[in-house]
Amino acid sequence: MEAAHGHAHEHGHDHIPSGIMRWVTTTNHKDIGTMYLWFSFSMFILGGIMALVIRAELFQPGLQIVEPEFFNSMTTYHGLIMVFGAIMPAFVGFANWLIPMQIGAPDMAFPRLNNWSFWLLPPAALLLILAQFAPGGGAGVGWTLYPPLTVQQGMSMDLTIFAVHILGMSSIMGSINIITTLLNMRAPGMTLMKLPMFCWTWLITAYLLIAVMPVLAGAVTMLLTDRHLDTHFFNPAGGGDPVLFQHIFWFFGHPEVYIIAIPAFGVISQIIPAFSRKPLFGYASMVYATASIAILSFLVWAHHMYTVGMPVQAQLYFMFATMLIAVPTGVKVFNWVATMWKGSLSFETPMLFAVGFLFLFTIGGFTGLVLSITPLDVQLHDTYYVVAHFHYVMVAGALFSAFGGIYFWLPKWTGRMYDEKLGKIHFWLTFVFFNIAFFVQHFSGLAGMPRRIPDYSLQFTEFNAISSIGAFGFGLSQLLFLYIVVKTIRSGEKAAQKQWEGADSLEWTALPSPPPYHSFETPPLIK
């Protein structure tokens, strides 16, 4: 696709406000995207430190470093912060930066709503941090917030519930903005089936968010009223049922997995064609596969709770429905591989992360299939096998994709090129330490080590020592990433408008690097 007429008149009159108020009051999608990405990175560091507290305690059996209650709160807030604070905002940051530029719009549909969506995040993060200092310490309940434990916790639980409400509001408003932008703000000629794959994945993800974030809000609201208003939604003594919470939570929780994964697929679908110098193989099938994954994600929630005791017919249904998701996911993986097939490949850092994603996410997908098998899951439920599985999906899937996306678009966003050599070192350190940290967890899980415990039997010692070494290596490697990004912004070499010769979406073909503060005030014509 190409822009049919120019926009040179846009460059002369960029008025960029300065000072702190630029960031507080901004309605510019690029500024808001930048804030999302930096917020996400700071939460990634915070959640990462919590992970390292967990791994430090688990380095050896026995209790060495932290109290068990504090350990439990670390597992809880590590999960909440990484899911809601780090990964989701990272992809919303990408969406803010890229969607308007990729569809030829001047900004998001609701720029002020966009500002509000972002500025709800820091107070929510603050509540999650303050919860650590509430009387009795942080809630030690796990990110899934299951009652009855959550009903019995101290004040930290209320702060956490409030934080989840705020994060949910932010996500819903962000999604409304994204869908409206994609449906109504496309440049003339940009039909839906011409949208870059990243935009398609966000359109689908935003619908998922609108459907399930209110469900999570409903679930935690019921927790709140059970705690303070004497309702008995989840209390058997009053006619309630704690299993109800699990059903409602996972009706949110499983689509949530795809809310994280699908934009990651979108980023990968932009990177692989660019470095294969070929168009994406099977564009239409990618769109339909993504939509199928999204629809199926609503129909499989109870595979997270096989052990609560459900009818065998229900177990069979959820098992087969879960396995069905492998079909559209397989379509996507094969399409990525087919895009690379006979392509003119080169392996710059974004492509390394994309190929790393392809290998490791597929491993995570296969262990997901293993876990979908009910009789196996009854054995593996709440073991480290599950922890290994979802870290392959969340870290090697979503985080690798986010890293790849940052390296891919950093030259566009900043107008400066990152240090390729350092980028490659960052990739290999991340890739190797990730596998050291998490591959062994498959084995400790198969051997029966339960998750969310600060102490364990002696037979798991070696696996845990290896995993902790990998985790610390992984965490330290991310400081290199911070250094690379800061170095790029401050002193990177000047990037070309089309830094990657195979990149073909509008931000590369129609806008300079960096793009003007206000781009596409006159919409481009798409042929």
Partner 1 sequence: MRPTAGTMQDDRDKRRARNLRTALILASIAAAFFLGFLLQRF
Name the residues that contact partner 1, by CB under 8 A: 104-105, 109-110, 172, 175-177, 179-180, 183-191, 210-215, 217-219, 221-222, 233, 240, 244, 248, 251, 523, 525-527
Nearer to partner 1, 150 or 156 (CB): 150
CB of 190 to partner 1, least distance (A): 6
CB of 232 to partner 1, least distance (A): 9
Task: Check if the beta carbon of residue 117 is closer than 8 Å to that of residue 174.
Answer: yes
Where does residue 376 rank: exposed (0-12), middle (13-18), buried (19+ CB within 10 A)?
middle
The CA-atom distances, in angstroms, between 32 and each of 35, 415, 503 are 5, 18, 24
Nearer to partner 1, 253 or 365 (CB): 253
Kind plus residue range of the DSSP H or E element containing 185: none
In the block, residue with structure tokens 């050896």: 60
Nearer to partner 1, 191 or 491 (CB): 191
Kind plus residue range of the DSSP H or E element containing 86: none
C-alpha angle 318/324/326, rounded to 5°? 125
- Which residues belong to the active site? 78, 107, 143, 170-171, 254, 256, 258, 269, 303-304, 329, 332, 451
- Beta-carbon contacts of 456 under 8 Å, excluding residues fewer than 6 positions away, are 58, 61, 449, 450, 464
CB of 152 to partner 1, least distance (A): 20
Nearer to partner 1, 1 or 163 (CB): 1
CB of 212 to partner 1, least distance (A): 7
* Sign of the dihedral defined by the CA atoms of residues 451, 426, 121, 173, in that order: negative
CB of 224 to partner 1, least distance (A): 11
Nearer to partner 1, 169 or 465 (CB): 169
- Beta-carbon contacts of 133 under 8 Å, excluding residues fewer than 6 positions away, are none
Terminal alpha carbon distance of the chain: 6
The CA-atom distances, in angstroms, between 504 and each of 237, 280, 405, 416, 420 are 61, 11, 15, 19, 21
DSSP state of 301: G
Nearer to partner 1, 18 or 184 (CB): 184
CB of 172 to partner 1, least distance (A): 5
